Amino acid sequence: MNGNTTIGQLLRYGVVGIASNALLYLAYLALTGAGMNYKLAMSLLYALGVIQSFHFNKTWSFRHDGARGQAFIRYCISYGIGYLFNLVVQYLMVDRLGYPHQLIQGALIICTAVLLFLLQKLWVFRNTSPTPTATTPSL
């Protein structure tokens, strides 16, 4: 199996995501357990997760050799989209419908991870090298 296949990328992305999100979720539970508002805790830890996961996803998960600065900007935009998705769902499910924030945030980790994988695969770390074109024989 080629390491740059979608399956390979997804497996490496999963390893980075599981390790990162496990630690961040434990921190989320600790912060909210200590009395911090769940939205503030999610926001702070989300920003920390963006910064710490960029390097691993760029160099290992997607093996992207493009410009770091451009990729980081797209990465931050994609995580901004993920953040807004997370915040809106929390608002709807916790504030409006009354579900426990611990369960909703746990489920959102998975949903947001899928969204972010697709954004990273198709936009942030897409292969920008020219695709070889077939040449037609000259007559």
Per-residue pLDDT tens over the stretch 82-132: 989 999 999 999 999 999 999 999 999 889 989 999 999 999 998 766 555
pLDDT (average), residues 17-30: 92
DSSP assignment letter at 73: H
What is d(CA 103, CA 88) in angstroms, rounded to the nearest whole number?
A: 15
The DSSP element (H or E) to which 42 belongs, if any, is helix 38-56
pLDDT at 21: 83
pTM: 0.74
Residue range 43-84, pLDDT digits in tens: 899 899 888 899 999 999 999 999 899 999 999 999 999 989
What are the residue boundaries of the structural domains of the chain, listed by start?
6-124
Cα distance between residue 71 and residue 124, in whole Å:
6
Going by the DSSP 8-state scheme, the letter that residue 5 receives in this structure is S
Contact criterion met (CB below 8 Å) for 89 and 70 = no
Rounded to a whole number of angstroms, the distance between the first and last alpha carbons of the chain is: 40
Query: How many residues would you count in the chain?
Result: 139
pLDDT at residue 134 above 90? no
